[in-house]
């Protein structure tokens, strides 16, 4: 009897041990399975990102789209320069300008925190910022309020933090930037190329895949070369004429500016607001001086460029007239006065070649 009881007890112990071992393995397997499930979420997102990048095919510009077209990639030659961002309070960034962002693709998002549709676009904007900021994209949120309530800066600040917006945001309380861009509704996305030209506009939600393709295409665009012998670099020849000869060749205003070192009145020049694609030549000797690719909106009232076609094409000399020291810019071939250069320009050079329209002749490129 004692033998049987002992055998039964041993058998029960053995079965219990087997069950316990099985349960332990099951729990461990379940835990391993759960920890394995947590990783694929991130992995899947990374795979999606890699797949988007690997499958990228540059968009083709719509040659029929005008400068004010919507939902089309506007050709560089037809695109117009983006207006400057007006003054406002900045969040997530030091105050900046579009000129300082030259060389980067810029997405300008017109929004307001009280707009339901605007909030619906934020997941895509935040993802684009995370995926492309390091590759050359800057997103700027222009907060243009719809109501008095949305003008309160503290509320804007709280909304930006609460909504998890990490890209720069600038307030547009008076709607000045909104009007400069001719915006009609919230939200509106405007995408600029590396030269600060408006290449794409979309109103409302949606078209997220198209917007990403536009960004990828503009990031992949190579900046136009502006300093090679093949496109007009000065070879060293000189043109010398008497003042009487120049007076016969040039009109009265040109002679005053180019030979007597005068200055045309601000905002009166033919090329101050010219946004067409092409090159600017010396009005006296036809030496190529500047490309529209280097032209930017300086707000000064004179056509401004951040660099010449080639440094050798212009000559810079100290100008001490009018009780101050400035740097005069002359045509290297005929020594006609063109304007002055200042060190308050945009990237990549930080220079502003402030030129007189009458000293230039523009030739459009197709």
% of the chain surpassing 90 pLDDT: 64
Q: What is the CA radius of gyration of the chain?
A: 31
Angle at 202 between CA 116 and CA 215, to 5 degrees: 110
Write the pLDDT tens digit of every residue in 267-318. 999 999 999 999 999 999 999 999 999 999 999 999 999 999 988 899 998 8
Write the pLDDT tens digit of every residue in 328-352. 999 999 999 999 999 999 888 889 9
Angle at 363 between CA 315 and CA 304, to 5 degrees: 50
Angle at 236 between CA 233 and CA 240, to 5 degrees: 120
Q: How confident is the model at residue 46 (pLDDT cuts 50, 70, 90)?
A: low
pLDDT at 260 over 80: yes
What percent of the residues of the chain are helix, what percent strand, and what percent coil, each to the nearest 5?
35, 20, 40
Q: How confident is the model at residue 140 (pLDDT cuts 50, 70, 90)?
A: very high
% of the chain surpassing 70 pLDDT: 82
pLDDT of 44: 61
State phi, psi for 218 to the nearest 5 degrees: -70, -35
Q: How confident is the model at residue 42 (pLDDT cuts 50, 70, 90)?
A: low
pLDDT of 221: 86
In the block, tokens 């997941």 appear at 123
Q: How many CB atoms neighbour CB 336 within 10 A?
A: 23
Torsion (CA) 171, 175, 176, 182 in degrees, nearest 10: 120
| Separation of alpha carbons 295 and 304, rounded Å | 6
| Separation of alpha carbons 79 and 202, rounded Å | 15
Q: How confident is the model at residue 54 (pLDDT cuts 50, 70, 90)?
A: low
Write the pLDDT tens digit of every residue in 74-120. 987 778 878 889 999 999 999 998 878 888 999 999 999 999 999 99
In the block, tokens 């000065």 appear at 234
Q: Are residues 329 and 353 in contact, defined by beta-carbon separation less than 8 angstroms?
A: yes
* Higher-confidence position of 25 and 87: 87
Annotated catalytic residues are 354
């Amino acid at each position: 009897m004692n033998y049987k009881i002992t055998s039964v007890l041993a058998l029960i112990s053995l079965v219990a041990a087997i069950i316990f071992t099985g349960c332990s393995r099951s729990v461990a397997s379940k835990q391993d399975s759960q920890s394995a499930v947590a990783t694929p979420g991130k992995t899947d997102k990374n795979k999606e990102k890699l797949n988007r990048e690997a499958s990228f095919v540059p968009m083709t510009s719509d040659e029929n789209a005008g400068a004010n077209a919507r939902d089309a990639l506007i050709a560089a030659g037809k695109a117009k320069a983006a207006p400057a961002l007006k003054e406002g309070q900045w969040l997530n960034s030091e105050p900046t300008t579009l000129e300082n962002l030259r060389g980067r693709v810029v997405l300008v998002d017109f929004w307001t925190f009280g707009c339901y549709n605007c909030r619906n676009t934020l997941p895509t904007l935040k993802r684009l910022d995370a995926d492309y900021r390091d590759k050359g994209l800057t997103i700027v949120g222009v907060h243009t309020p719809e109501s008095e309530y949305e003008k309160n800066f503290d509320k804007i600040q709280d909304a930006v933090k609460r909504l998890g917006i990490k890209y720069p945001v600038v307030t547009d309380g008076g709607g000045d930037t909104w009007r400069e861009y001719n915006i009609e509704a919230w939200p509106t996305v405007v995408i600029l190329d590396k030269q600060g030209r408006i290449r794409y506009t979309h109103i409302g939600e949606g078209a997220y895949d198209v917007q990403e393709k536009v960004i990828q295409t503009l990031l992949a665009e190579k900046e136009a070369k502006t300093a090679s012998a093949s496109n007009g670099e000065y070879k060293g020849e000189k043109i010398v004429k008497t003042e009487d000869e120049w007076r016969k060749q040039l009109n009265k205003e040109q002679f005053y500016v180019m030979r007597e070192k005068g200055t045309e009145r601000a905002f009166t020049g033919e090329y101050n607001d010219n946004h067409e694609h092409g090159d600017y030549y010396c009005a006296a000797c036809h030496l190529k001086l500047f490309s529209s690719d280097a032209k930017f909106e300086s707000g000064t009232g004179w056509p401004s460029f951040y660099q010449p076609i080639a440094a050798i094409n212009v000559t810079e000399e100290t100008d001490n007239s009018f009780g101050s020291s400035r740097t005069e810019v002359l045509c290297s071939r005929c020594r006609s006065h063109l304007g002055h250069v200042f060190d308050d320009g945009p990237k990549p050079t930080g220079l502003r070649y402030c030129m007189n329209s009458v000293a230039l002749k523009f030739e459009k490129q197709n």
